[in-house]
Amino acid sequence: MLFKTLASSLVLATGLIAGNALADSTHQASTHQVQQIRNATVKITYGDTTFLVDPMLAEQGAYPGFENTYRSELRNPLVGMPMPFEEMIDDVDAVIVTHTHLDHWDNAAQELLPKDIPLFAQNTADAELIRSQGFSDVRMLDGEAEFGGVKMHKTGGQHGSDTLYAVPELAEALGDVMGVVFEAPDQKTTYLVGDTIWRDEVEQALAQYNPEVIVLNAGAAEMTGFEGDPIIMGKEDTLRTHRAAPDATIIAVHMEAVNHMTLSREELSDYVQDVGIQDHVSIPADGEAIFF
């Protein structure tokens, strides 16, 4: 299937080529690629190992909008999957769940994924929850772990500002989150930042690991009553990330698929061009892959 690429998606002048399922044999042989599936769901292929991250696999409109968030009257997901499940899961070796919010680990993922697939969770609570859903090979990413020749490092963050976390009900709802740094011989170090705002933990991870590829959840999701105080990064954070890691390629995801995202691909594309960082930022369409 050929996936339509949004006009706003960017092809990097450094030689990164945005592809699709009909990519030529050179791209199919790539040992490092990041594929945007939908929302925060991405596939990261690293050498001989492919990880599926934060699977939200339901059909369009399967769930009510998130209460007390921007555009909660809309049903999630806002868009359909860009490929059949069987095609998407075919080469996946392990799953990473950065946290168990519905838009990162939904009912459809729990039903569709093989119950014996290796699955990495951020902490004991998430691991126990996922085991209770029938999964038999649940592992904790506590510090670092190795799988399929890939070393993974857990990184920190916070799913909203201190202002939001000062409200006990919001702090409980937003909960804990993690990011992941991937390292392997002869591969570009890749930092999946996760659902966090710009924090010291993010800045420290950038400095410590010096990633060459950064997957940034950039949809600037908002809670009702906290307008202008998003719970994940947005366009200004994309610029901030570039300034902290000027040689890295930023892949912006987690936009346009769930109701509380306030930043669109087109708006982010316009912004990165306005501030002159378009050669460092890729904004893939659903189904689109970036090859290295």
pLDDT tens-digit readout, 271-282: 999 999 999 999
Report pLDDT digits (tens) over 116-175.
Answer: 999 999 999 999 999 999 999 999 999 999 999 999 999 999 999 999 999 999 999 999
31 band by pLDDT with thresholds 50, 70 and 90: confident
**Stretch among 25-29, 41-45, 236-240 having the lowest mean pLDDT:** 25-29
| pLDDT at res. 48 | 92
- Residue 22 pLDDT more than 60? no
pTM for the whole thing? 0.90
157, 202 in Cβ contact below 8 A? yes
- Residue 9 pLDDT more than 60? no
Domains of the chain: 18-142+150-291 (3.60.15.10)
pLDDT averaged over every residue in the chain? 91
Q: Determine the Cα–Cα distance for residues 27 and 16; give it in Å rounded to an integer.
A: 10
- Residue 256 pLDDT more than 70? yes
| pLDDT at res. 28 | 52
Q: Determine the Cα–Cα distance for residues 31 and 49; give it in Å rounded to an integer.
A: 9
Those residues with Cβ within 8 angstroms of residue 274's Cβ, 6 or more apart along the chain or in another chain: none
Query: How many percent of the chain have pLDDT more than 90?
Result: 89
Sign of CA dihedral 158, 256, 69, 120: negative
